[in-house]
Amino acid sequence: MGNLTIDNLRVTLNNRQMLESVSLSVCHGERVALLGRSGSGKSLTARAVLGLLPAGAKASGTIRLGGIDVLPMPALARPATARVAMVMQDTSSALNPLATIGYQLRQPLQHCRGLSPRQAASEVADLLLKMGFTAPHDIVNRYPPELSGGQRQRICIAMALASNAPFIIADEPTTALDVVTQAQILKLLRSVTADPAGPGLLFITHDLHAASHLCDRALIIENGCIVEEGAMSQILHAPRQIYTQNLVGSAHHCVVACEKVFA
């Protein structure tokens, strides 16, 4: 059974149809890209999975996490086996600017995993090393505004891992970053989701280039419907839908332009 299975999800917002027919499934240890133009319904799909749809939203269909139908359950009422960790684009609003990095990372370790403060502090140091920070003792005492965007995104990925959630959604985690930092974050996401028994990843993006570096499979969403689905190689080399063909075409132009700039 898939770790995340969405079946015929429909969402209206103030009586306007926003998601019409979203069905998808992501297994343990699988990395799947959700690609689509701005406004196509990517983040709304993520919010439905998280149990955080905006006020005025009505949803039907099923969303199963670890076999449990979570659609009728508010986020906080869900059991640990049906939890989702979220990595967002805007790291400044994802982290509390008034609490140190160490404090924020210890919270999920103590409250979700039941570690003692001492065990949590040692786990935080290990996590920070894994995220590529060479001096964890310095980072734990800093506040989010004292870090760069790329460093904050690495903290958000550490936070997702600290909660031990069986599923991770990353919504445009690299969009606000420069190309070199983007590559570092993609590499990190790849390494933390490399275990086939580990968390599944739904990677939301409109950047086909980034998706092709990270994901094995891709889903294309247009006007609130999944219109195409396939292995990443099929999407790249034999796209069926016009939108996907345009996406592949523009990604190719972008790569050629970058090659010219850096030649």
Ligand X SMILES: Nc1ncnc2c1ncn2[C@@H]1O[C@H](COP(=O)(O)OP(=O)(O)OP(=O)(O)O)[C@@H](O)[C@H]1O
Number of residues that bind ligand X (CB under 6 A): 12
Q: How far is the CB of 60 from ligand X (least distance, A)?
A: 16
Q: Residue 200 binds what, of Mg ion, ligand X, none (CB under 5 to 8 Å, by partner type)?
A: none
- 259-263: list long-range contacts, CB under 8 Å, 24+ apart: none
Q: For the chain, how many residues are written?
A: 263
Residue from the set 12, 21, 43, 184 that interacts with Mg ion by CB under 5 A: 43
Convert residues 22-51 into a mask of x (bound to ligand X by CB under 6 A) and - (unbound).
--------------x-xxxxxxx-------
Residue from the set 54, 79, 117, 145 that interacts with ligand X by CB under 6 A: 54
Strand partners, 16: 13
Q: Does 17 bind ligand X (CB under 6 A)?
A: no
Q: Residue 64 binds what, of ligand X, Mg ion, none (CB under 5 to 8 Å, by partner type)?
A: none
- Provide the residue type at 24 as one letter: L
d(CA 260, CA 247): 20
SS3 category, 125: helix
Residue from the set 31, 64, 83, 206 that interacts with ligand X by CB under 6 A: 206
Characterize 203-214 residue by residue with b for buried, 16 or more Cβ atoms within 10 angstroms of its Cβ, and e for exposed: bbbbbbebbbbb
Number of residues that bind Mg ion (CB under 5 A): 1
Cβ atoms of residues 32 and 216 within 8 Å: yes
Strand partners, 105: none
Q: How far is the CB of 201 from ligand X (least distance, A)?
A: 17
The residues of the shown chain that bind Mg ion, judged by CB under 5 A, are: 43
Binding site for ligand X (CB under 6 A): 13, 18, 36, 38-44, 54, 206
